[in-house]
Amino acid sequence: MAAFQFDLKPTGAQALGLQWMQLIPACLLIGMLGALMTIGVGLYAPCMILVSLMGMNPIAAFPIMMGSCAFLMPFASTRFILSGKYQLRASLGLTLGGVPAVLIAALLVKSLPLYALKWLVVVVVLVTGIQMLRSAFASEPKFSDPQ
């Protein structure tokens, strides 16, 4: 994404769809990125990078990410719901807050200049990556097991 921003890679990606030979690996990669969501890694920034690398218009990342999450969440949440290892009040609060948040994000993302949005994605991915590496190399975990 940074290479696109610095004009090191040619832009001009305007496609809103993929051919079968690109669609199958893209779906597999989105599936892997979706699996990372279950451990707390967000999907929008990696999805936008994947969409750009596949030669698509980065604007297509938002509906792809939303569709992926819509299919992912029922399957990912089933285990937690059946085991009772979730907090109902927190889940309800996130659900109720998520509805207007998605509407606001959809309007904001649509009105935000694509150039600025790409830089925002680069910064988010870099900061998240650095935090994950620092956490991985920490001598002791930052959390404690409640059991």
81-132, pLDDT tens digit by residue?
888 888 888 888 988 998 888 888 777 766 777 778 788 888 888 898 888 8
Burial of 33 (0-12, 13-18, 19+ CB in 10 A): buried
pLDDT given for residue 141 in this prediction: 60
pLDDT at 10 over 80: no
38-82, pLDDT tens digit by residue?
777 788 888 888 888 888 887 788 888 888 888 888 888 888 788
pLDDT given for residue 96 in this prediction: 92
pLDDT at 147 over 60: no
Q: What is the separation of C-alpha 56 from the centre of its chain, rounded to a whole number of angstroms?
A: 16
Question: Please, what's the b/e burial string for 50-65 (b: 16 or more CB within 10 A of its CB; e: otherwise)?
Answer: bbbebebebebbbebb
| Backbone conformation region of residue 108, classed left if phi is above 0, alpha if psi is from -120 to 50, else beta | alpha
d(Cα 114, Cα 58) in Å, to the nearest integer?
Answer: 8
Segments making up each domain of the chain, as ranges: 2-11+18-136
Distances (CA, A) of 56 to 14, 101, 120, 124: 5, 26, 18, 21
pLDDT given for residue 64 in this prediction: 87
